[in-house]
């Protein structure tokens, strides 16, 4: 065992010891999940009150960003570029535990780790992202195990595998991207992906096709801008079909089953419907449709379990609020500010938050959507501020530069 690994294990064990043998000497906030939501929250709690203990539990050794991962599929970016370590968080005094949280005991206020031991908390933040409801697409699990059908909707090994499949596909082949019914992670993400794969085919395999089978009736985000880009840039390459929900998939015949027909392809990229990450389900945090966690938008505290705050994609989104890295980062700041207030005996004040989502439509050009969300006391939720947001006037290289700057800035804001 390397010295650094030993220190991590020793750290987790001594934290676990604290939880089981004695109360922490100062208030401790435990965060599960070091993605856009959890990492940002852990860092900002320490920035805003360095007297608090903050422990971040994360199972993956490195952070791999979904934003920009569609460019990796096209060969316009690399896994190295979208992979970051979390060492910056330690510089802010965040204690890192590299492990998987397997259970939350809300009565004891402690989190149990796969590697053994428990960590006690005063306040808990859960930001586990999504897991998939594979059972909604018949045959999915077997198809995925065969390695022939991928979602690549969590950036990492599946991103690499999908890029390899696209490279191996002969010119003249068909790439199928199946989009689940909203709400899903990153509303414009599938259409950006379709654009990126079409851009790659146009350059490298011009006889090939991108077929988007969307369970939704129409493109769910920036529809006018995407459709304009597709007809200008990818005529004859990219075909879009709405109301085309995948009910099954078969890796032997390489086909996606829709309600009324079966469509064959050479690369099947089927994104199944999602729900809040497993740990949220195990902890009883899911309140809506067996999928999402309802929260108080002034504090991000769960409506089901007091003392536990839920962030990011796992939440039941407020009206007109996308599941995005941008939103998760903003949720984290609401939670961090509220927890610092609560642990210092102050009443938290509602915050106004902003979403910005860029999508590439070619190697250099991007489009944008943004919105502002403000607390409405009468309705008891966050509402989009009328007239505050909007979309780009047209795709442009300037938006492409802003998109790269946005990505580098949010990676730094969350992790460095």
Ligand X SMILES: Cc1cc2nc3c(=O)[nH]c(=O)nc-3n(C[C@H](O)[C@H](O)[C@H](O)COP(=O)(O)OP(=O)(O)OC[C@H]3O[C@@H](n4cnc5c(N)ncnc54)[C@H](O)[C@@H]3O)c2cc1C
The contact set with ligand X (CB under 6 A) reads 32-38, 57-60, 66-67, 69-70, 100-101, 127-129, 153, 185-186, 189, 193, 277, 279, 312-314, 323-326, 328, 357-358
Distance (Å) of CA 118 to CA 28, 52, 94, 321: 13, 19, 18, 35
| Alpha-carbon gap, residue 370 to 38, rounded angstroms | 22
Measured from the CB of residue 159, what is the shortest distance to ligand X in angstroms?
A: 8
Question: CA angle 46-410-28, nearest 5°?
Answer: 20
Nearest to 347 by CA among 302, 296, 299: 299
Separation of alpha carbons 241 and 256, rounded Å:
13
**DSSP 3-state assignment of 63?**
strand
Angstrom distances, CA of residue 323 to CA of 212, 221, 273, 328? 21, 12, 13, 8
Pairing of strands 295-296, 101-105: unpaired
Q: How far is the CB of 182 from ligand X (least distance, A)?
A: 13
Distance CA 136, CA 246 (A): 9
| For ligand X, the closer CB: 128 or 183 | 128
Q: Minimum distance between the CB of residue 112 and ligand X, rounded to whole angstroms? A: 10
For ligand X, which is the closer residue by CB, 115 or 248?
115
Contact 12, 303 (CB under 8 A): no
Give me the least distance between CB of 412 and ligand X, in Å please: 15
Looking at the Cβ atoms of 189 and 348, the one nearer to ligand X is 189
Provide DSSP, 310-351.
Answer: E-GGGB-PPTT--B-HHHHHHHHHHHHHHHHHHHTT------
Nearest approach in angstroms of CB 346 to ligand X is: 26
Question: Residue 220 corresponds to which tokens in the numbers above?
Answer: 């769910």
**Residue closer to ligand X, measured from CB, 221 or 255:** 221
| Smallest gap from residue 377 Cβ to ligand X (A) | 26
Nearer to ligand X, 70 or 299 (CB): 70
Identity of the residue, 255 or 332, whose beta carbon is nearer to ligand X in the bound complex:
332
Concatenated DSSP letters for 185-254?
B-TTHHHHHHHHHHHHHHHH-TT-EEEEEESSSS-SSSHHHHHHHHHHH-TTTEEEESS----EEETTTT
User: CB-wise, 33 or 250, nearer to ligand X?
Assistant: 33
The minimum distance between CB 262 and ligand X, in angstroms, equals: 26
Residue whose C-beta lies closest to ligand X: 35
Residue 318 sits at φ, ψ, to 5 deg, of -70, 170
Rounded CA gap, 272 and 63, in Å? 22
The smaller minimum CB distance to ligand X, of residues 249 and 321, is found at: 321
Closer of 254 and 279 to ligand X (Cβ)? 279
> DSSP letters along 79-147, please?
HHHHEE-SHHHHHTTPEEEES-EEEEETTTTEEEETTS-EEE-SEEEE---EEE-GGGSBTHHHHHHTT
The least distance separating ligand X from the CB of residue 250, rounded to whole angstroms, comes to 24
User: Which residue number, 185 or 298, has a Cβ lying nearer to ligand X?
Assistant: 185
Work out how close the CB of 207 gets to ligand X at its nearest, in angstroms, rounded to a whole number.
26
Shortest distance (Å) from residue 295 CB to ligand X: 12
């Amino acid at each position: 065992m390397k010295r650094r690994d030993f220190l991590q294990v020793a750290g987790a064990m001594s934290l676990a010891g604290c939880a089981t043998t004695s109360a922490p000497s100062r208030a401790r906030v435990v965060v599960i999940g070091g993605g856009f939501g959890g990492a940002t929250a852990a860092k900002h709690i320490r920035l805003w009150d360095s007297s608090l203990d903050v422990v971040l539990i994360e199972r993956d050794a490195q952070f791999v960003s979904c934003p920009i991962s569609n460019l990796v599929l096209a060969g316009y970016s690399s896994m190295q570029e979208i992979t970051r370590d979390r060492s910056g968080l330690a510089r802010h005094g965040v204690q890192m535990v590299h492990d998987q949280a397997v259970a939350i005991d809300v009565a004891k206020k402690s989190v149990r780790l796969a590697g053994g031991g428990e960590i006690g908390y005063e306040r808990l933040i859960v930001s586990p992202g999504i897991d998939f409801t594979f059972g909604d697409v018949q045959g999915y699990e077997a198809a995925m195990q065969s390695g022939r059908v991928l979602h690549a909707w969590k950036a990492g090994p599946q991103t690499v595998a999908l890029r390899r499949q696209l490279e191996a596909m002969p010119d003249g082949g068909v790439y199928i991207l199946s989009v689940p019914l909203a709400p899903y992670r990153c509303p414009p993400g599938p259409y950006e992906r379709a654009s990126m794969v079409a851009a790659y085919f146009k350059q490298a395999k011009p006889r090939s096709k991108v077929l988007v089978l969307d369970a939704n009736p129409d493109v769910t985000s920036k529809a006018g801008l995407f459709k304009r880009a597709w007809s200008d840039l990818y005529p004859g390459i990219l075909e879009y079909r709405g109301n085309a929900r995948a009910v099954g998939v078969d890796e032997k015949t390489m086909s996606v089953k829709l309600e009324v027909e079966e469509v064959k392809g050479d690369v099947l990229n089927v994104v199944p419907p999602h729900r809040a990450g497993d740990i949220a389900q195990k902890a009883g945090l899911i309140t809506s449709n067996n999928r999402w966690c309802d929260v108080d938008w002034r504090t991000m505290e769960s409506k089901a379990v007091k003392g536990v705050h839920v962030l990011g994609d796992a939440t039941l989104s407020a009206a007109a609020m996308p599941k995005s890295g941008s939103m998760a980062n903003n949720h984290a700041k609401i939670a961090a500010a509220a927890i610092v207030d609560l642990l210092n005996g102050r009443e938290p004040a509602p915050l106004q938050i902003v979403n910005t989502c860029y999508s590439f439509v070619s190697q250099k050009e991007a489009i944008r959507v943004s919105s502002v969300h403000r607390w409405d006391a009468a309705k008891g939720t966050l509402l989009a501020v009328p007239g505050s947001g909007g979309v780009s006037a047209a795709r442009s290289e300037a938006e492409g530069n802003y998109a790269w700057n946005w990505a580098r800035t949010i990676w730094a804001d969350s992790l460095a």
